Amino acid sequence: MRRTASPFSLIVLGVGVFLLVLAPMLAWYVEPRAKRTPVDIDTTTVFEGKGAYFDTGKVETVKNQKLTITRQVRGDVADSEKSGRAIWDVSTSVDPDKSLPAEDPHDSLQWTLERWVTDRKTNAPVHCCQEEPYFEGEAYLKFPFDVEKRSYTWWDNTLGATVPLKYRGTKKVQGYEGLHFTGTVEPAKTGTRQVPGTLVGSKAGQVLAEEWYANHGIDLVADQRTGRIIYAQIGPRKTLRKPGSEKDAVVLLDSKKIAFTDKTQKQQVSLADDDSSRLELVGETLPVGTGAAGLAIAAVGGVLVVRGREPRTPQEPTTM
């Protein structure tokens, strides 16, 4: 007598095979496509610290003042979708207490508006789509996905060049572990500015004073899986020099430490944790779990199919 497998056993086998096929698809197809720089970003990060700045009202540098840096990043979704790139518009303002809250960013001590264009997969700069400024390097507003334990080149917009950041090990921020990087910027001329000669110690009426920039220390902690920066600290110093001089004549801005506020740290950690957990789910947890379940279910289904096809030995009729 010929027997065929039962529909139930075929369904069980089919489910197992489906899960076995799904597991590598999650790891090799879905997860890599989830590792893309978002284009619908809208975040604000705040740095606070103490330092000195040039007060134009007093025409002098005032010291030991509270300074606040506010950076707002908004993704240009329409242009990003057209170009296939991540296009972010970045507004950064530097304020002493007296200009906060600044209703108009032009009222700030310093204000810049930038447009950053990057490859969504690699985080490398892409020079298109009205990018401003032109920049290079491996990282700026974020690190690439799957941050490695090595040195990176960081773009310093004030310097107009890349800065090497050395890997310093792991560091916890608000209880969350990330990779720690540090660097410094030695004094460098970044441009010129026309000012009254007396301001920089010159007898001329007006001079093109040299603008100089340095950074006491760049201190960053990045989430390893997503590249999101969960802690940032900088020490900017901007000065003016008389043309040809080797000494600073006027301090425009100087702070040893301006860092993410606790609120910003918690916000960045929460976002990094959520994004990292999702990537881990589709890249590791689900593929492993799905593969193991598929193997077990396929094995059970195979046994049921084989048993269902085995012919049974006919029984002898009983006699009385």
Read out DSSP for 54-82? Answer: EETTTTEEEEEEEEEEEEEEEE-HHHHHH
Helix/strand/coil for 267 = helix
Give the chain's count of helices (H) and strands (E). 5, 11
Does pLDDT of 230 surpass 90? yes
Does pLDDT of 267 surpass 80? yes
Q: Per residue in 105-132, pLDDT tens?
A: 767 888 999 999 999 999 999 999 999 9
Alpha carbon distances (Å) from 26 to 12, 128, 224: 21, 32, 20
Q: pLDDT above 70 covers what percent of the chain?
A: 75
Q: How many Å from the N-terminal Cα to the C-terminal Cα in the chain?
A: 26
**Hey, which of 18-22, 121-125, 220-224 has the most confident mean pLDDT?**
220-224
User: What confidence tier does 314 reach under pLDDT thresholds 50, 70, 90?
Assistant: low
Question: Residue 214 is inside which H or E element, if any?
Answer: strand 206-222
Q: Which range among 30-44, 81-95, 304-318 shows the weakest confidence by mean pLDDT?
A: 304-318
